[in-house]
Amino acid sequence: MDRISARTNYIITVKQKSHEYNSSQVRLRGGGIVMPPISVLMKPASGMCNMMCDYCFYCDETKKRTQQSFGFMKEETLKNIIRKTMLRAEGGISYAYQGGEPTLRGIDFFRRAVAYQKQYNKHGIQVQNAFQTNGYLLDEEWCRFLKDNHFLVGVSLDGIQEVHDAYRHGKDGRPTYERVVRATGLLDEYGVDYNILTVVNRRVAERIEDIYENFRRHGWKYQQYIACLDPLGEPHGQNEYALRPAEYGEFLIRLFDLWYADWQKRQQPYIRTFENYVSILAGYFPEACDQRGTCGIQYVVEADGGVYPCDFYMTDEYLLGNFNDCRLDALDERRRELGFIERSQKLSAECFACRYYHVCRGGCQRNRDWKLQQEAYENYFCSAYRMFFDACYGKLAGIAEELK
């Protein structure tokens, strides 16, 4: 399972130029304070899924906590989540639905979610909805609902059939690629906005040219590539699908070369990673959380209402509280007690001194390892980022300068 993406800003996002940011507020250089949008990610079907993916990071997490599944989210829990967050929101609010597989909860659940958003939106706050799915249950009714309610959809698909079917299986072990492609056809037919979400495992990295061309043929212009995660707290590179730093660095360079050639013709697809690097170099705040350098404030909610600071850390030790009996202030206080955001600021002196730090920012905390001698974190993919920026930084900077 992958992280949801959005070409609109569903995570805490500020796109105004020249901001300084901390975990609780945005301070403009001119002096005023702007509260960031509230970001809520829900798992209405917990970790339940109608597919089996070999590299699923959430399956790994659920096996490492006391209770693996919390079943289906109750409507009362949904109501409490939306009521408490909507009444607190100032700058906007985003709700993302993920799993497991959220469509298993049924379409009526999401109709109720939209109804609660309207009921509790007392101050005319801008609301964004995003939805990540494997596409298995999408039909005409789902597509009409997603279109009518302006949901941005992330569809998980790993490039080409051979690569996708190697790791993403149905419950019966059968291949899934063709069924997912049919789902994208339905989304196109109904005019639903969607992104393709691709996990960069070893096979994806090897076949990126074929994948890029396949995406072009299908007209999939909005793409997100997510580095495959090793199991939480386990050594890197132990699994067949594992992505190693040299492979990731080569992948980024080859993908960028394809994208840059299209950019020169002004025919490039939207690739979230590259768009955010260009945005950083142009002086904007990145909307992708893994490219900000420090973790932000999110409310990631299990089906029972339990809240965690990030969907990469939904284990017992990171539980902040429960929306059914906690106020947001209490959840935020528990996050501060854990030092969750502060931990992501502890990068090595070598990292801060790197000539690419201003654009790399140390990558995602989930890919960082604690170095005892340095008393700091270092990203497992550090050498991959160096490879990429050594090869591509000048072109990225040139694009940023042209856009400015």
Give the DSSP per-residue string, 65-131: SS-S---SPPHHHHHHHHHHHHHH-SS-EEEEE-SS-GGGG-HHHHHHHHHHHHHH-TT---EEEEE
What is the CA angle 285-286-291, rounded to 5? 130
Dist CA 219 CA 143 (whole Å): 18
Characterize 235-251 residue by residue with b for buried, 16 or more Cβ atoms within 10 angstroms of its Cβ, and e for exposed: ebeeeebbbbbebbbbb
Sheet with 33-34, edge to edge strand ranges: 19-21, 26-28, 33-34
How many C-beta atoms surround the C-beta of residue 297 within 10 A? 20
Just list the catalytic residues: 311
Residue with tokens 């070999």: 54
CB 199 within 8 A of CB 248: no
How far apart (Å, rounded) are the C-alpha atoms in residues 279 and 1? 27
By the 10 Å C-beta count (0-12 exposed, 13-18 middle, 19+ buried), 364 is classed as: buried
Count of C-beta atoms within a 10 Å radius of residue 174: 9
Closest among 104, 85, 103 to 95, alpha carbons compared: 85
